[in-house]
Amino acid sequence: MNEKTKQFVARRFKAYYRSAKIAPPEEFWMREWGFVLFDPSYPAKLVMRRHTSFATKDDLANYLRENAPAHAYHSAAVYQYPTETMAKKGWLGADLIFDLDADHIVDEAELPRYSYEDLLALVKEETLKLIDFLTSDFGFADDDIKLAFSGSRGYHVHIHTGGVRGLGSRERREIVDYVSATGLDMNSFLTNKTADVDDQTVKLILGKYVEVENEVPIFKKEKFRKKSGDLQLIASKGWGKRLQSGLANFIAELSGLSEEAKKKKLNEIGISKESTKKMVNMTKEGGMAKRLERMQEGKLGFWPTQAWDKIIAEESVKSADHVDEPVTADIKRLIRLPGSLHGKSSLRVKPLTVESFKAFNPLVDAVVFGDKPIEIRATRNSSIKLKGEQYKVAEGEIAQLPEHVALYFLCRGAAELT
């Protein structure tokens, strides 16, 4: 970003902050604040100005108007002395924060295959899963949960209720492990009726029966038993209930496929040919209604391990890497100020409720700048869809674009002012 471009972007950010109504977080005067400004080193070097606090809302509003930061943050924690060094701040508690970002959902090597719009849709799907966990499994009310579009490629989820304030890093990490199914033990959700047998030895491993031929046990020093009755899924609440729902969805999805497509899907998740044949037969027309009815009662019958792995992946918020664990566990972390602008996109860090999040479209609703034509020179091939219109520029191209589009390309480092 050259100096001319930087000064233009800084002026437009200043115009936004002059009129923006930004609601500070609860107990804002007890929080540490941090800012990255459009200073001489920006954007080659991002200098964070930390250990700041504001006594009044007007003090915060005046700072934003005068400095028009590229990035604005506040602490998840509240402190006795927020302007002191970390060792002297006097930690009093912290909000529960989740940071979901496309970088944690799609492998870096795969990112070029996705459009910005597609990445945002994937992150939204994961965020909806997280909200469901928080309300259904942890008992938070919708009003306890505040969200914000990050201004880039993800969402932040904030919980301010007093019950979470005192949680330490370990407890917060356990919450991440729960929603991401880290360490989930399927054995704790499965049970079956068994009986001693002499003619055959069978061991149950996550719903898969392994027969031992010629009565020669593979697993030494164990008493083997044969299934008598149905394998049962304990589905009264929490993950058990989610597994039951995921199981029904998996079977229903399979049933809608052709026989060849079923085989391909099952093969892709590593299920053997023999098991695939059984599962394909299970989902044939005529037996489906009965099968789903039995599953609703928790009766599973045959079910291979790899299918459970697939169900868990679909039901969880992917993995511990997908909810940014360091952000959730870090009780002194800074998080973006809802209502501020993101210096690498020009989009608003849009505050949301659980209800408004459902219909939220960041590429429309987080756009704050207008349509005045601005001439830019593209420094690399780039494209973006904003406010329902698709825009594309090629490296070296001179283009006149609506201001909100031009600012996006300028902030992304994909263009300079002419």
Active-site amino acid positions: 99, 101, 324
Cα(75)–Cα(48) distance, integer angstroms: 13
Phi-psi region of 185 (alpha: psi -120 to 50; beta: other; left: phi over 0): beta
Output b/e per residue, 181-204; b: 16+ Cβ within 10 A.
bbebebeebbebeeeeeeeebebb
Residue for token pair 């085989």: 263
Per DSSP (E only), the strands in 318-372 are 334-336, 351-353
Cα(357)–Cα(389) distance, integer angstroms: 22
Partners of 399 in the β-ladder: 376
HEC string of 277-307?
A: HHHHHHCCCCCHHHHHHHHHCCECCCCCHHH
Q: Fill in the amino acid letter for 46.
A: L
Cα(168)–Cα(173) distance, integer angstroms: 9
Give the rounded distance of the alpha carbon of 349 from its chain centre: 16
Q: Provide the token pair at 145.
A: 């949960």
- List the 415-417 sheet strands across, edge first: 398-402, 373-378, 415-417
